[in-house]
Structure 1
Amino acid sequence: MMPVSKDTVMMLKSYQSQAEQLVRNYVLADPFLPYTSVLGGIFACKTAYELTQLISSFYFKSYAGLTKMQRFEWNNRGMSTLHAIFITAMSLYLVFFSELYSDQQFGLVPFRSSPLSTFALGVSVGYFLTDLGMIIWLYPSLGGMEYVVHHSLSLIAVAYSMLSGEGQLYTYMVLISEATTAGVNLRWYLDTAGMKRSSAYLINGVVMFFAWLIARILLFVYLFYHVYLHYDQIQQMHTFGILLVFVVPCALSIMNLMWFGKILKGLKKTLAKSQ
């Protein structure tokens, strides 16, 4: 192996320094961060879709027997699951473990943000743009009008919060509900793979019931309580921001309750068959 000359080492270090400066001054600079994170989110969705297709074709025998539309949805749900894991982890950390939104910190809660919180919202905007585009393109194969409404409301609220820095705490509280997405996708995978009568399908239904109850019902009750306690601060937001704080969670709550009723009905049917 030939030794690397000092000039080559110096040149590589120079390129590395220039690249780091470029990333720091432009890609991750505050004015550009929302846009670079959105592009990063779209790129991550594309990568997740392709990886799901590649891995599934090698490791899941049933994948080859799916129709073209089923394979498309299979890959789409892989992308959806990756986003759900990422945004749930970020939301839980920022809402419950970081000091960013703590009442002990200085400043009004609805106006607090950080580069990390803005970046995570941008990635989520990239996902909702990508997924909404797929839903509309193949409508109604990937979901009916309720999915279009859900994604549109989520996209508007997350994008506004990302660009304005307002109401990020409440946006993250709502995004915690994405924790249930992985369970929903797994249920579809089990059904598509012909495992509807398996114990895994039953366990998934039970776990999904409790996850939905906590993340999409009880957590929204806590969100509304938090809004009530900080109403004087929320009144200082822009009118559109105030509207989003009230309208989006209310609309999503109604949809969550409707879906929860379907989950409960499905769980009862699955439990009855297993006896």
Structure 2
Amino acid sequence: MRPVSKNTVMTMEAYRSQAEVLVKSYLLADTLVPFTSVVGGILAYKLVYDLTQLVSMFYFRTYASLTKIQRTEWNNRGMSTVHAIFITATSLYFVFWSDLFSDRLAGPVTFRHSPLSTFYLGVSVGYFLSDLGMIFWLYPSLGGMEYVIHHSLSGIAVAYSMASGEGQLYTYMVLISEITTPEINMRWFLDTSGMKKSAAYLINGVVIFIAWLVARVLLFVYLFYHVYLHYHQVIEMHIFGYLLVFVVPAALALMNLMWFGKIIKGLLKTIAKKR
């Protein structure tokens, strides 16, 4: 095996140092994080959309028999599933494991942020912009007004938190609710593939019920309780951020309860058919 020369090692170290400087001084620079992350998010989800289309054409027989709008929705749901997995993992880390929002640190929790937490929120903003664009372009094929309201509220709240650095803890708490998205999408995939009467469809319904109860009902109760305990810090936020902390979670919680009622009815109906 040919030994690596000293000059080659020095060149590799130089490239590595340049890459670190690029990440720290550009990608994670405070003034450029929002722009970089949003644009990067849009491009990343466009890539995921195209990869979903490519993989589905080769590995899923059902895909070829779908209509044009069904294929578009199939690809769109693949994109939303990837975003949901990414942002849920990120949110769980920042809310429950990171020291960024820990009570062990001094200072109001409502003003804490980091270049990394801001960057991840920007990626999520990129997704909401991409998905909203598709919803408007193909309205109402990919979702009705409830989807427009949900995505608009979420996008505005996440964008403000990203740009201002305020209330990022509560933004990440709300984003944990995206954990229900892969199950919802899987239900659509199973239905479209003609597996509505399968055991997998029933199991999926039970998983949706449990995930929705935990992430979109109980978690919001915890969020409001946390806001109550830290109200003296919340009131110090800018008036727009202050309103977002209350208005957006309250509106989403109301929509979640309405959808939860439909989930319960659907699950009971499915179980009754199985019996």
Q: Same fold (TM over 0.5)?
A: yes
Q: Which runs of 4+ in 1 moved over 6 A?
A: 1-9
| TM-score (normalised: structure 1) | 0.95
Query: Which residue of the partner structure matches residue 180 of structure 2?
Result: 180
**Partner Cα distance (2:97, 2:21) in 1:** 31
Query: Which residue of the partner structure matches residue 28 of structure 1?
Result: 28
**Partner Cα distance (1:69, 1:77) in 2:** 12
AA matched with 1:257: L
Task: Determine what percentage of the aligned residue pairs are the same residue.
Answer: 73
AA matched with 2:68: K
**Partner Cα distance (1:245, 1:173) in 2:** 11
Query: Which residue of the partner structure matches residue 64 of structure 1?
Result: 64
Unaligned runs of 5+ in 1: none
The aligned runs of 1:244-255 (5 Å cut-off) are: 244-255=244-255
Matched, 1:232 2:244: no
The aligned runs of 1:1-275 (5 Å cut-off) are: 14-275=14-275
Unaligned runs of 5+ in 2: none
**Partner Cα distance (1:258, 1:150) in 2:** 13
AA matched with 1:74: W
Query: What's the CA shift string for 1:14-48, capped at 9, x where partnerless?
Result: 45544443333222212111211111211110111
Q: Secondary structure, in 3 states, of the residue corresponding to 2:252?
A: helix
| TM-score (normalised: structure 2) | 0.95
Q: 1:4 to 1:231 in 2, by over 3 A?
A: closer
**Partner Cα distance (1:151, 1:73) in 2:** 16
| Worse overlay, 256-265 or 35-44 | 35-44
Q: Secondary structure, in 3 states, of the residue corresponding to 1:213?
A: helix
Query: What's the CA shift string for 1:161-212, capped at 9, x where partnerless?
Result: 0111100111111001000000000000000000000000000000100100
Query: What's the CA shift string for 1:216-270, capped at 9, x where partnerless?
Result: 0010011111111111110100000000000000100110011111111110111
Structure 2 contact 190–201 (Cα < 8 Å) conserved: yes
Query: What's the CA shift string for 1:136-166, capped at 9, x where partnerless?
Result: 1100000000000000000100000011110
Q: Secondary structure, in 3 states, of the residue corresponding to 1:29?
A: coil
| Worse overlay, 113-122 or 237-246 | 113-122
Question: How much does 1:4 deviate?
Answer: 8.3
AA matched with 1:96: F
CA RMSD of the aligned region, Å?
1.7
**Partner Cα distance (1:215, 1:20) in 2:** 37
